[in-house]
Amino acid sequence: MGQTTPAWASEARWKKIAIWVTAGSFVLLVFLTFDTLSKVSVGGERVRAYSVINKEIDYRYDEKQKRFAPVIGKDAPLFGQALSEEEAEKLVMLGKKTTQAKNCMNCHTLLGNGAYYAPDLTKAWLDPGWIDAANRENLMLAFLKDPAGNARSFGSGRRMPNLGITDEEAHGVVAFLKWMSAIDTNGFPNNFKTLNTKE
């Protein structure tokens, strides 16, 4: 038994190959993970500092990169009040925790991941549905606090249920959405016309 199996097809050889391939792939993944995490830390070019919510944010086609990319503009403090980095982080954190606590991801997608019953929230801050920058914050707050009463169903019959989002949490969620819209997502979604470019 076994003499007729050549070494290259033997169990022992493939055991070694399996171990080396697995270990090699994993080492590469760890290396790439360190590199990626350093490139996506908050405050970098890809994921902006939380205080980016003090600025005007847009999303436009970038000729050089040949894709859509976030554009950070002039001062435009959220809710009319410029925040320090710490204050901004606190507000965005409240918003992020609220999106988790309210289970947003099982209807919506965030950065394209989640469920498909409600629109993607990646660029929700920039959506032309808010009509213009002047009314946006108030519309968003009112919607989050009473989504069923301010339903934005677009004729689909689908409504967001009232999730008991407090005023404070609603402010946090808006801050989180504004901050998220500034993340450089490699051009996803493509061809998105923001409320600034609507005309």
Closest to another protein by CB, 74 vs 96, is 96
Nearest to 84 by CA among 40, 58, 56, 53: 53
Q: Give CA–CA dist 185/45, Å, rounded.
A: 11
Length of the chain: 199
Give CA–CA dist 89/85, Å, rounded: 6
In the complex, the smallest distance separating the C-beta of residue 114 from another protein, rounded to whole angstroms, is 6
Burial pattern 168-181, b for ≥16 Cβ within 10 A else e, equals ebbbbbbbbbbbbb
Contact string 19-38 vs another protein (x = CB under 8 A): --xx--xx-xx--xx-xxx-
How many amino acids of this chain bind another protein (CB under 8 A)?
95
- Contacts of another protein in 63-122 (CB under 8 A): 66, 89, 92-107, 109-117, 119-120
189: contact with another protein by CB under 8 A = yes
Q: Taking CB under 8 A as the rule, does residue 40 contact another protein?
A: yes
Residue (74 or 153) nearer to another protein, CB: 153
Is the Cβ of residue 1 or residue 75 nearer to another protein in the bound state?
Answer: 1
**Token representation of residue 43:** 């405050």
